[in-house]
Structure formats: C-alpha cells, structure tokens
Amino acid sequence: MAGSNACDSRVNNTQKKLLECVTVEGVREHQAAFQAIADANGGVRAAGTPGYDASLDYVVAKMTAAGYNVSVNAFPFVYVALPTLQQTAPISASYETGAFTGTGYGNVSGNVTAIDINLVPPRASSSGCDGAFTEAFVGAPIVPDPGGPDDFAGFTAGNIALIQRGTCSFALKATNAVAAGASAVIIFNQGNTPTREGLIIGTLAPFVASIPVVGASFANGAALSQPGSTASITLAPPQNVTQYNVIAESKDGDPNNVVMAGAHLDSVQRGPGIQDNGSGSAALLEVAEQMAKVKPRNKVRFAWWGAEEAGLIGSNAYVAGLSAEERQKIALYLNFDMIGSPNHVFFIYDGDDSDAVGAPAGPPGSAEIEKTFEAFFNMRGLPFKGTDFSGRSDYGPFIAVGIPSGGLFTGAEGIKTAAEAALWGGTAGQQYDPCYHLACDTFANINLTALDVNSDAVAFSVLQYAMNTSDINGAKGKGNFPPLSGGGAVPGNGSQSGLHDDHELESE
C-alpha cells in the first residue's frame, strides 16, 4: 500500500498504482461523512430531504476539489414523506405504518374507536363492512345500503376508526368510515394466518378518501384497540420538488467514447443508507479522487444518482434526457449498488445470461464487462457468482436503450444459502444485509473485507475501460491495458435477483 502522501502527488495510471492508493480507509472516510450527514438530518439521506441535499453538496465539493468538471443534473420528483402513527394513551408508542393508495392527507389526533373487531382466534372479521355502503363482492361497485346492518352505529364523529382486515374490500371499509364521520382510519391486519400478521398497506381504488387512511400490523392494531386509546397520525400530501444527480467528468479523454460509472446517493426514508448505498457511493468517490490526475484515453463520467429508492427516478431522467447522439457516445455503464453487505456474496451482473436463470442477457458488450470483473476476482483467487439484471438498480435505464452494462452487488434482502456460506463465510439462513432498508443501516453495517475487495474491483474496472474499450466497441485502446477475459461463475447456484423491489400492495 502506498503512503497517503505518495498517492496525493502521483499519477495512478496503472492498475498497480491505483489499487495501492484506493483504500478501504478512504472509502470509510466518505461513509463516515454520510453517517454524519444523516445524524444531522433526522437519520436519513432520502431524496427530497435535507439529508440528500447535504449528501449532494458533499459529493460536489469533493469532485470539484479533485479537479473534475462537475455538474448537477436536475429532474422533477414527487416527494412523499413517510406517514407516522403514534399511540398516545393508555400507553405511548410509535408504530410502523404506511399510507393506503387513495388516502387523504392531514394531521389527526383523537380517540380511537374499534369497529366490530375480533381478536379471538380464528379471528374471522367483517370489521367495517357493514355501514352506509355495501358491495356484492370484492371489486364490485360500492353502492348505498341505507337499510342494512351498521358496524358504525353509535360511532362518535371525529374519532379515529380502527378497522380490522377481512371479508370486504379496503375501499368499502374506508367508505363506510368516512360516511360515519371518522377523522382518520387505521386498518390493521387480520391476524388469522401467519401471512396476515405484519403491517398491511393496500389500495382503496376506486375510492379516493378525504381523510388519512393508514395501515398497521395485527399486534399494533390490538394494542390500539385497548379502552381509552388515543392516537396521532401525520400524513403529508405529496410535494413536487426538483432533485439532482451529480455528474463529474474527466477533463481528458475521447468525448466520443465515454465510460460511465454510477452509484445511487440517496437512502430510503427509514434509515441513513450507509451500506445501501453509501458503500457504492463512497467507493466511487474514493476511486474518482485517486484517478483525478490520470489522463484517460476515454472520457470518464462518474454519476451519483438521486431518487433511486423511489424507482430509479434520477437515472431514468438522465438517460431520457440524452439525445440519440449522446447515447451513442456512451461506450458502457458500470453500476455499484450495495458492495459491502455484512453477510456478503461476491455477485457480478450476468451480462451474457450464462446462468440461464431469470432475466436475459444485457445489451451486446455486457458479457465482456462481466468477464472483466471475473478476471479481477480470478486474479484475487476469490469465488464469485452471477446475479440477474432484474431492473432494480440504476443500470436499468441504460440497458433499456441498449448501452452495455455491468457491475457488482453483495446482496440485499435475499437469504444466504449453506453453499454460499461455505464459499464466502457468513451465516446461512440469514439475509445478505439484515439491515436492508432499515434504520440500522449505519456506519457499523458493513463487511470490511467485501468493501475492500469490491472497492478495488471498482477501481480496476473503471481504469481498465478508461484506457481501453476495444472489447466493447472496437475503439482503439492503450496497449498496456489489453482487453480482459476469463471467469466462470460458481456452478450450481443460479442467479440472485437484484435490488429494491417495492412491497406488494394488497387489495383486500
């Protein structure tokens, strides 16, 4: 390892020099900065929040100081703050919640009234199904029912209606609560089967409520049903805001042959995101800083994407804003999202569909990118495994327009198998990242070995393609950076899906 002073002054224009200067300590310094930003901004760095703005400012400052041509790429974003649900009596507690599609908005505090709930096994429930409206079956039109039974008889207008899942649609339950004068609705899970215990979030379609409608787990609903319960709900309306990607481009290199490398900068709203994706963002910062004095043959464009966690919003906007000519100038895209998972596996995106599992191969050239990463791991004597281009991270919009893509991943909510534990260590039967999308995704949520190895792999791949993309598009490269090939994933285990699936929304 070269000393920091030596790295500050020298040109890291070979793999040996660059990998000596890209250190896990340097990556961790950036992750520590992201943690400090989250700590100062409510524990999050999500798009639309001050924590994201501060993260963006940090990257801009670092890349400007390193001498890159830095710009921010604006895109429209609809920010939806997480709702909150708090019980204020007879106990004080905060509960995980979520907004139903079609909810109204507002801040509501008041008495909680349970509506015909059943907490006794087997917990058959028609809570909220009988009232001013009815439906013949779930999905049928909701129509007035003036003479029918009424679960809301005696309900005090202005109270919060606590309704149990079961029998009829969420839409009918909410419609009847609104008709009874409820100020808000909490729909909690039924609790009759193991799959109906956790937080429930669904859709009210086609009904559009005028009051907040949020979900709760069975256990939290039972707690809220205690006599004398009061609660507070906050549910802010969506806000149209402008967000930004950060683009840092080398001053040298062929502008008609651009090598892009990206990582998303935002966290989810439930945590600081220091692994997801502070790991990829920090590694990219460290590599960019250590490559700052390099004069690449090809233009190198680093990108830190915004609003990935909301559905790849920033990267989609960036690619959509490129002209056909600008797209053609991009030789390839490398994606680094979650590269230091605590219970890691070394996944490489399956560019050629050699695993023959799940998603198809990437655009032509993606196979060669996969082989470049395979060559790195083979040189280190480390096992690796393919993972699908599932569309769950920022490579998605690049693949959609035919740009060759690849990248690294160490696992999210997937479960490590016994075979994987035998190869990479860790714990079989547990998530690759037990803190995925949670508040515990902090500076401590990391595997330093995985982060160290993958930070080197980021550096290796970016410098390789900065100097030579001939295996991708035939463009002449530097002779001391010959195209790389090799590999062969760990057999017999298939592919793993990528990242960031949204929760399925239940409809009844």
What's the token pair of residue 411? 């696992």
Name the pairing type of β-strands 143-144 and 133-134: antiparallel
Residues 6 or more apart in contact with residue 233 via CB below 8 angstroms: 83, 84, 85, 86, 97, 107, 108, 109, 160, 184, 186, 212, 214
* Contact in structure between 465 and 298 (CB atoms under 8 Å): yes
What's the token pair of residue 82? 């997480």
| Chain centroid, CA 152 distance in Å | 40
What's the token pair of residue 337? 């999202």
* Contact in structure between 265 and 309 (CB atoms under 8 Å): no
- Distance set, CA 193 to CA 219, 220, 415, 501 (Å): 13, 16, 23, 24
What's the token pair of residue 446? 């990391």
Q: Which of 352, 348, 330 is nearest to 339 (CA)?
A: 348
Question: Where does 272-393 show beta strands of DSSP type E?
Answer: 298-305, 330-336, 347-349, 385-387
**DSSP H/E element including 471:** helix 470-473
Q: Which of 162, 169, 181 is nearest to 117 (CA)?
A: 162
- Distance set, CA 101 to CA 17, 143, 215, 342 (Å): 53, 20, 11, 34
DSSP string for residues in 395-413: THHHHHTT--EEEEE--SS
d(CA 185, CA 170): 11
Tokens 């690449």 belong to which residue? 296
Catalytic residue positions?
Answer: 308
* Contact in structure between 160 and 113 (CB atoms under 8 Å): yes
* Contact in structure between 103 and 212 (CB atoms under 8 Å): yes
* Contact in structure between 18 and 463 (CB atoms under 8 Å): yes
